[in-house]
Amino acid sequence: MQKEQITGQVIDIKLSVDDALMATGFSLTFKPDYNLTEAEFKDLNSPPRTWDWLTSGLFLFGVGLLLTCFSRYLAYIYFSASKVETYEWICGVISICLAVCSCVIGYLVDNPKKEVMNQIKNHFSNVKPVKQFVSKRD
């Protein structure tokens, strides 16, 4: 391509230059790190959300209640101990239902920690190691 000199013109279109790329010299290969910002770090470092601990608390409480009922039911059958009342089962079931509700709410409301984790996961699965060719310097 011949040498072009464009000076002092008013340009209103995109110009094209077709010899703008270098022949390659040496290269460096790298995999870019995830650029963790301070805000994202704070999200990751934050305590569990209310909905998360409420879900696990209610769920475990429900399972505990149901297990107690079950063991008393077994005792009733085999050792004729006192009968399990219906309300005792209901307590456990309600607790589990509440846990499901709070789990659904927790899923629907913002979860910054999960978003950041997903971004990081995507970064590491999508960004391939890269070879950057650079020209040799004299």
Partner 1 sequence: MYTLNKLPENYIPYENLIICSNKLIGGGFAFSYGEGLPLIIGQGTFPTVWLQGAVLPGSKELITLIENNVSLVESLVVSANLEKRSIEVMFNKNIKIIEVKLINEKSAEITYLDLKPLGFNISGNSGELHIGSSNFSRNTIHGTNVFIGLG
CA-CA distance, 45 to 32, in Å (whole number)? 23
What minimum distance in Å lies between the beta carbon of 129 and partner 1? 10
1 binds partner 1 (CB under 8 A): yes
Q: Does 110 interact with partner 1 (rule: CB under 8 A)?
A: no
Residues between 24 and 83 with contacts to partner 1, criterion CB under 8 A: 24, 28, 30, 32-33, 35
Question: Cα(11)–Cα(20) distance, rounded to whole angstroms?
Answer: 19
7-30 burial, b at 16+ Cβ within 10 Å, e below that, comes to: eeeeeeeeeeeeeeeeeeeeeeee
**Binding status of residue 86 toward partner 1 by CB under 8 A:** no
Q: Does 17 bind partner 1 (CB under 8 A)?
A: yes
Which of 15, 45, 80, 86 forms a contact with partner 1 (CB under 8 A)? 15
Taking the C-alpha atoms of residue 83 and residue 106, their distance in angstroms, rounded to an integer, is: 37
Binding site for partner 1 (CB under 8 A): 1-22, 24, 28, 30, 32-33, 35, 130-135, 137
